[in-house]
Copies of this chain bind each other. A is one copy, B any other.
């Protein structure tokens, strides 16, 4: 009986890992599509998001069926409930990758990102993908040390976000308001994507240690990308 339960639980965990890999890849391809102004790639990312939504619904159904059939308690129950929360995080990450791809499609045949910001956006995209790859690894290994690394990676994302805003608010900004709007939203999409990856790692820490990650480590980074008081972009809660 318990073995059947743990097999089903493994299947749910595998689905989470698959979703994490899928959305990590989607964000990577969305970033490439945007920087290269590659319309076909952008459209493939936009279409692929339906798959993430399906994966999430399937995972939710499996989790509910598992709860109904096996009636887990204590830690096992908590793992199933936490899996549901994580699948919601990952579904949202799929949306964010799709948003980036939509910016790429909207500005085609131009790139939405001016040349002097391409390196920063590329770094944000790569870091977002790396964070999600680590979140997937944390899901597999339950490695608390690795989970804590994501907090530090997220500080790096905050720093990139600040760099982006410094460019935006530099009085020499010559790319106009439309590009400023695009870049503001892109920055927000990458930041939120990273937040969800961190949130997944934190949930694993809670399951393993029984403590909230933020209770034995100070909050990561400043609350806004501009501790200097420059911008209005709130960080995750």
Contact = CB atoms under 8 A, between A and B. Distances in A.
Contacts of A173: 177
A151 B67 CA distance: 32
Contacts of A204: none
A229 interface: yes
Interface string A5-39: 00000000000000000000000000000000000
B64 A81 contact: yes
Contacts of A168: 177, 181
A56 to B, nearest CB: 10
Interface in A133-169: 165, 168-169
Given A184-B181, A229-B106, A237-B92, A67 B49 contact: no
Interface stretch (A83-91, A114-122, A123-131): A83-91
Nearest to A49: B237
Interface of A: 49, 53, 60, 63-64, 67-68, 71, 73-74, 77-78, 81, 84-85, 88, 91-92, 94-96, 98-99, 102-103, 106-107, 112, 165, 168-169, 173, 177-178, 180-182, 184-186, 188-189, 223-224, 229-234, 236-237
8 contacts: A53-B237, A63-B81, A68-B73, A95-B237, A96-B234, A103-B232, A165-B181, A180-B181
